[in-house]
Structure 1
Amino acid sequence: MKRILLALLLLIIVVPAVIIGAEFIDHYDAESAATASAPPAPATERQVARGAYLARAGDCMACHTARGGQPYAGGRAISTPFGTMYAPNITADKETGLGSWSANDFWRALHHGKSKDGSFLYPAFPYTNYTKITREDSDALFAYMQTVTPVRQPSQEHALRFPYNNRILLAGWRALYFTPGAYRADSAQSVEWNRGAYLVQGLGHCSACHTTRNAFGATVAKSDLGGGLIPIMNWYAPSLTSDAEAGLGNWELQHITALLKTGVSPRSTVFGPMAEVVSRSLQHLDDNDIQAMAVYLKSLPQNDPPPALDTPQPDKAAADRMMQAGAKIYEQHCAECHKADGKGNTAAYPPMSGNRALTMGSAVNPIRMVLNGGFPPSTEGNPRPYGMPPFGQMLNDQEVAAVVSYIRNSWDNRAGFVSPQEVNRHRSIPLD
């Protein structure tokens, strides 16, 4: 109800902005079309190969392929706080995919967030990031998509609640939160840094997960890459601008590149949604692009404070009891792999001591790992990853809270305690 009232308030307040924004967008589109009115040259093999690479970099298949479905044929359900959205068919089928689109139509979708017929696209399609893509890369992507085997599969209508199923509201949303614009290189930075920034900000759309969203689903600019809970999935994408979380400012460059390319490094291991990103996208990028992304990420300012704790903290007596219980559970179930001193075996099992993934304000990620287990991605650099078994059937809520609290407050770690109620809340959340 609160979200509906906010949406109605948005409609009332921004009607003038809707009109002004729509006029601005239409003018911008007309101006862009005038500069790109000439038909593109026929695609070359090199351009198609480039487009295939860029599709990997953008992880396009992840959203546009349903489980067990044909590549890029759409149909994957994407849960949002506003209802369920269904990724469209982007194969080369002329009736249900992109086969009847032009390169200009495709550019309009990526750069302006508007479909072939001019209708506004919902920002679950991250055109707020893709707008930074160059026209050359957009054309290469389109050239590749035209080679994807056509699949006749009509795109499914989104199942959004009122009033979010009214696309006219997007005019106001765009006026407030979206300005089209390709990436502009920073002349004060190196070519490598700019390449990394282009990939992170644009095709990689890292801010889509690693940035807090407001009540209307827009990323909050002032906290760009500052961390955020991924809606519905309930995984916390940590801040990339805070040393208290996943900030990379004091990492060695080779450790960052290893994490991005293989999913494992001496400092950390990726799980959850990030494991899918590494598996389907990042491991397939060339080393120069991975290095460029690492250079850019390492350069980000590391000054964001850690987030507030998610749950009230126990008194000292209760905390001591929880630590004692957690120590016994850790010794029984965890120490064999992660070692009694919490240092782990970096070739297979990540360290517990000093692992910032465990000590953030939000404890949702370690809670879900204990409950559900998980694996880092299988990559060329880590083809047989060691996994974490699930303990959700073995341990009750109190026991999970105890062992997670123990891990977060032992060795070099100092973080908040976890409550059984918090564990119970996350126990009922589906994995996908």
Structure 2
Amino acid sequence: MRSGLVIAIAMIMLCGSAVVVDAADVQDFAAVERGHYLADAADCGSCHTVPGSNHPFSGGRPIETPFGILVAPNITSDRETGIGDWTDDEFDAAVRGGRSRNGARLYPAMPFPYYSRMSRQDVMDIRAYLDTIQPVRHAVQVNRLPFPLNLRISMIAWDALYFKPEEFHPDTSKSNDWNRGAYLTLGPGHCGACHTPKTFLGGDKPSDALRGYTLQGWTAPGITSGKGPLADWSIADIEVYLRTGHNRYAAAAGLMSEVVKLSTSKMTNDDVKAIATYLKDTSGPAAQSSAPDKNVVSAGAAIYQDLCAACHRRDGKGVPGLFPDLAETATVKTRDPTTVLRVILQGAQSVSTGPEPTGPAMPGFGWQLNDAQIAAVATYVRDHFGKAPPVSESDARKARSDEAARTD
């Protein structure tokens, strides 16, 4: 049936005239289109494609976890090194059940706890789309974890603790927009994989869902509303941010820039609005702060005026759509200063998208400022604009050391 679809499309392209297409082929084409959309919503390309590669979904990209490095597998239709020889049941079991075709348990770097909320039809549509991607022969050694974590039998206990597979069921007391947003956020979008705090075993803490987590050298801030970091963001603010990577308050950089570029910017306006609707109805706690040393704040204020005020302005409001408003940037308000320190030390490149092609960058100041000065300006920014806890010199020293050791 899929080969019939390919032939039909080829005939249309070659003849440039009306062609009678079998109803089954039309149905297949619709499945491919749905699958393409869902693969983007699920951000499959981000993990399964090496950046800059001309071979999408062929795997090989290292995925950093708290326990070691895993490598995304080849999910093209190559029969020997990809999924071309897999049955539909085997593919569904991997995506929604966390099981490889030989029954081995997958590690949750593959976000199957979230994907389990998709329907089997969703997964089959994704496969229909992947079948249209050029197969690539690329054998990948997926598991590079140290002993004993490299033994997949350890996942039996993890699954028992943290994996509760269940398809998404709408909440009849909520609007259609809310339910669509909940499905995308909690299902294919797997937002909690980055934004939900984890236990020491790497499982989600359900009571703290979407309240922020730190991974791969970045802080994924809390994205709940209520009294959380996005308290002052409207539905429209969240929507514009997800579509373009920029809004009047903030700009997407780091890991979030990939999410915007490869996933949310490709969604329909209605779906992005639905996600924003859901997030604005998900409450979170207010940020907690403590009084910093006045001398540190004073020193940080002087550094800010010298190095930062030209772009972010003296009042921290920046330039809408260009330079972030520090009082409304979620990573400034969050308890963990990882992202603030990384950006001050190393700089950051914001995402470039079709609607917002500029993608402005911030230079790093690690070469110019010592650890005490980095801590001072970070403390000033977080206290003055975000009411977040102070940053110590040892925090800055550790951040500098961690950044020097990273390869990304």
What is the TM-score with the length of structure 2 in the denominator? Answer: 0.88
Q: 1:350 aligns with which of 320, 324, 329?
A: 324
2:362 pairs with 1:388: yes
Any residues of structure 2 matched to 1:65-214 within 5 Å, and which? 65-69=49-53, 70-214=55-199
Partners of 1:56 and 1:334 in 2: CA distance: 36
Deviations 1:185-237 (A, max 9, x none): 1111122211111100010000000111111111111111121122xx13121
- Secondary structure in structure 2 of the residue aligned to 1:237: strand
CA–CA distance in structure 2, aligned partners of residues 372 and 245 of structure 1: 27
Aligned AA (2:326):
M
Deviations 1:12-32 (A, max 9, x none): xxxxxxxxxxxxxxxxxxxxx
Contact 1:226 1:242 in 2 (8 A): no
Please list, as runs of the form range in 1=range in 2, the aligned pairs for 1:311-350 lying within 5 A after superposition.
319-350=293-324
Partner of 2:282: 300
CA change 1:120–1:339 in 2 (3 A) is same
Q: Does 1:425 align with 2:407?
A: no
1:259 counterpart = 2:233: no
Aligned 8 A contact 1:238 1:245 in 2:
no
Which whole-Å CA distance do the structure 1 matches of 2:344 and 2:395 have between them? Answer: 13
2-side partners of 1:293 and 1:162: how far apart? 40
CA contact (8 A) 2:228 2:286 kept: no
The verdict on how the C-alpha distance between 1:173 and 1:354 changes in structure 2, with shifts beyond 3 A counting, is: closer
Q: 1:413 to 1:198 in 2, by over 3 A?
A: closer
Query: 1:344 Cα shift?
Result: 1.5
Aligned residue number for residue 238 of structure 1? 221
Instruction: Say which of 392, 401, 404 aligns to 2:375.
Output: 401
- Structure 1, gaps ≥5 residues long: 1-40
Instruction: Look up the match of 2:264.
Output: 282
Q: Percent identity?
A: 39
The answer for unaligned runs of 5 or more in structure 2 is: 1-23
Deviations 1:314-347 (A, max 9, x none): 6xxxx22222222221122111111122221113
In structure 2, what residue type is equivalent to 1:294?
A: A
| Structure 2 residue aligned with 1:373 | 347
CA distance in 1 between partners of 2:227 and 2:214 (Å): 16
2:250 to 254, 264, 268: 268
The alignment partner of 1:44 has SS state of: helix
Distance 1:105 1:308, change over 3 A: farther
Q: Which amino acid aligns with 1:306?
A: A
What is the CA-CA distance between 1:392 and the residue it aligns to? Answer: 1.2
Deviation at residue 164 of structure 1 after TM alignment: 1.1
Amino acid of the residue matched to residue 344 of structure 2? V
Which digits, 9 at most, give the CA deviation of each residue in 1:21-59, with x for residues without a partner?
A: xxxxxxxxxxxxxxxxxxxx7761111111111111111
Structure 1, residues 262-316: CA drift from partner, whole Å, max 9, x if none? Answer: 11111322222111110111101111111111111111123x253687xxx76xx
Q: Shift of the alpha carbon at 1:356?
A: 4.2
In the alignment, is the contact (CA less than 8 A) between 1:244 and 1:360 conserved in 2?
no
Q: Is the 8 A contact 1:129 1:205 kept in 2?
A: yes
2:33 pairs, out of 38, 49, 54, with 49
* Aligned residue type for 1:239: G
Query: Structure 1 residues 181, 307: closer, same or farther in 2, change over 3 A?
Result: farther
Off by >6 Å, runs of 4+ in structure 1 = none
When the two structures are aligned, how many residues end up with a matched partner? Answer: 380
Amino acid at match of 1:269: A
Give the letter aligned to residue 28 of structure 2. Answer: T
The structural deviation recorded for 1:96 is 0.5
Q: Distance in 2 between matches of 1:342 and 1:213?
A: 32
Tell me the distance in 2 between the aligned counterparts of 1:213 and 1:53: 29
* Matched letter for residue 217 of structure 2: N
| Secondary structure of the corresponding residue to residue 55 of structure 1 | helix
SS of the counterpart of 2:332? coil
Contact 1:263 1:270 in 2 (8 A): yes
Once the two structures are overlaid, the 10-residue window that deviates more, 100-109 or 140-149, is 100-109
Q: Is the 8 A contact 2:223 2:229 kept in 1?
A: yes
- Give the secondary structure class of the aligned counterpart of 1:388: strand
Taking the aligned partners of 2:338 and 2:228, their CA distance within structure 1 comes to 13
* CA shift for structure 1 position 398: 1.3
For the aligned residues, what is the CA RMSD?
A: 1.9
Tell me by how many angstroms 1:90 deviates. Answer: 0.3
Q: Residue type matched to 1:416 in 2?
A: P
2:85 partner letter: S
* Structure 1 position 406, deviation (Å): 1.6
Shift of 1:245: 4.0
